[in-house]
A and B are shown apart, each in its own frame.
Chain A
């Protein structure tokens, strides 16, 4: 493994680790989400009406394992593989 190949592997590992950390800090959801349900505090009147608490929809992107994290990681691995091969070929050609 030459220096360029080592850089390719290092950058790929860092990018994948970064997206996995982002995914975990987003709650480690399986699927990406476009919104969240926020539990609403129940009002005194609703309590008097015998109603349970409700949820309110809020638009918010939540990074999930599928598809975004998996697609990004796959793309990084694919591009790194190509670069790894290109750099390996150049070294071989140089030696010849």
Chain B
């Protein structure tokens, strides 16, 4: 009986390993990447017949842990500060931070906390495309959101050392949200500012300790 159970467990492990999709790189096991580079950027884009608005934040921080061989193990979160978002008009930035919009005093951060990873496609040995679902929090409201994400793993090399020590993880993510889902509602939404906002994240992380 014990042999049957052991065989079944081994079979289950073998099946789960064969279905695990991850990077084929030098690194193995669990790796933690810190996203602290000042060039990391999150872009918000709104388009209406009246105006296109781009808001950008370079104050992006976060930590992501993943098993190199199984991307579905990925956990972690990325945070940006509301006060750091710039739209190229100072007065508009002030409005954005005000109570009628994102209310930076009471809700100073926007966060994406990873919950699960699905639809993984292997684009190259060190490049994976996936749908990453997480809890997205804006204006104190949290909604489950799915982002299209491309992850690229670079083993430490002479080229990567110029940027940061350790292995590097590049993250290019895109998803849409509706401001009304996050209780950001006022007369301007739907006119000068679209309810649907496209969010793009361009991130570089290092696993150096």
Contact = CB atoms under 8 A, between A and B. Distances in A.
Interface of A: 30-37, 44-46, 48-52, 54-55, 57
A36 B159 contact: no
Count chain B CB atoms within 10 A of each CB in A31, A51, A52 and give the residue with the most. A51
A51 B159 CA distance: 16
Contacts of B54: 37, 55
Nearest to A57: B86
A36 B88 contact: yes
Given A34-B88, A37-B56, A52 B39 contact: no
Contacts of B140: none
Given A31-B51, A45-B162, A37 B88 contact: yes
Given A50-B127, A50-B150, A54-B41, A30 B172 contact: no
Contacts of B50: 30
A57 B39 CA distance: 11
Contacts, number: 59
A64 to B, nearest CB: 9
Contacts of A54: 39, 41, 202
A44 B157 CA distance: 13
Given A36-B88, A50-B170, A45 B202 contact: no
A83 to B, nearest CB: 32
A55 B41 CA distance: 9
A55 B43 contact: yes
A60 to B, nearest CB: 9
A44 B163 CA distance: 11
A47 to B, nearest CB: 9
A57 B56 contact: yes
B170 A46 contact: yes
Contact of A50 (B43, B90, B152): B152
Given A45-B162, A51-B204, A54-B41, A32 B152 contact: no
Interface string B9-39: 0000000000000000000000000000001
Given A45-B160, A50-B170, A35 B86 contact: yes
A44 B159 contact: yes
Nearest to A31: B89
B202 A51 contact: yes
A51 B151 CA distance: 9
6 contacts: A30-B50, A35-B86, A37-B88, A45-B162, A45-B168, A46-B170
B56 A49 contact: no
Interface in B33-79: 39, 41, 43, 50-51, 54, 56, 58
